[in-house]
């Protein structure tokens, strides 16, 4: 898997009073694409380590460049690509388009962590299902 693709319609709740998609919603769109990608690989987002502690994926970096407005009712193409895989972390690159027009580009780095008492997060190795997924240089860089 070099790239995962899904679609999402801009809902009324995603927009401001002018009917333009609010900037913060793009992070939700990117997270949606990431979650659907992981689900397609049968990777659970939240698991238990067998000792009562949760294993999750906190974000440690996120960015988004806005290239054109998205409006209520637009159908957006969400593309996510794994560009870096570390021992405990993943960096995803995102491209959001509408009918081929670039709308936004972003990146998210997440770390696979065991969540301990008081919410402390300790990095743990990636699940086996992600070890065979290839990471590749970014095709989205201009």
Average pLDDT over residues 55-77: 96
Share of the chain above pLDDT 70, in %: 92
Residue 61's beta-bridge partner residues? 109
- Whether the pLDDT of residue 35 is over 70: the answer is yes
CATH code: domain 4-131 is 3.10.129.10
- Whether the pLDDT of residue 71 is over 90: the answer is yes
- Whether the pLDDT of residue 137 is over 70: the answer is no
Categorize the per-residue pLDDT at 15 as very low, low, confident or very high, splitting at 50, 70 and 90. Answer: very high
- Whether the pLDDT of residue 139 is over 50: the answer is no
Categorize the per-residue pLDDT at 134 as very low, low, confident or very high, splitting at 50, 70 and 90. Answer: low
Question: Of 61, 74, 66, 60, nearest to 26 (Cα)?
Answer: 66
Place of tokens 């238990």: 48
Categorize the per-residue pLDDT at 21 as very low, low, confident or very high, splitting at 50, 70 and 90. Answer: very high
Residue 117's pLDDT is 82
Residue 48's pLDDT is 83
Residue 37's contacts (CB-CB under 8 Å, 6 or more residues apart) are: 1, 4, 6, 80, 92
Residue 43's contacts (CB-CB under 8 Å, 6 or more residues apart) are: 127, 129, 130
- Whether the pLDDT of residue 141 is over 70: the answer is no
Residue 51's pLDDT is 83
Residue 24's pLDDT is 96
Average pLDDT, the chain: 90
């Amino acid at each position: 898997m070099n790239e995962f693709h899904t679609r999402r319609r801009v809902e009324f709740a995603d927009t401001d009073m002018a009917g333009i998609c609010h900037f913060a919603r793009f992070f939700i769109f990117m997270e949606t694409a990431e979650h659907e990608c992981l689900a397609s690989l049968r990777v659970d987002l939240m698991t238990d380590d067998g000792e009562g502690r949760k294993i999750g994926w906190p974000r440690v970096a996120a960015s988004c460049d806005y290239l054109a407005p998205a409006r209520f009712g637009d159908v957006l193409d969400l593309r996510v690509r794994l560009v870096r895989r570390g021992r405990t972390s993943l960096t995803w690159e995102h491209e959001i388009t509408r009918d081929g027009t670039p709308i936004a580009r972003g990146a998210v780095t997440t770390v696979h962590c065991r969540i301990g008492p008081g919410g402390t997060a300790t990095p743990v190795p990636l699940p086996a299902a992600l070890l065979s997924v290839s990471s590749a240089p970014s095709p989205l860089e201009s």
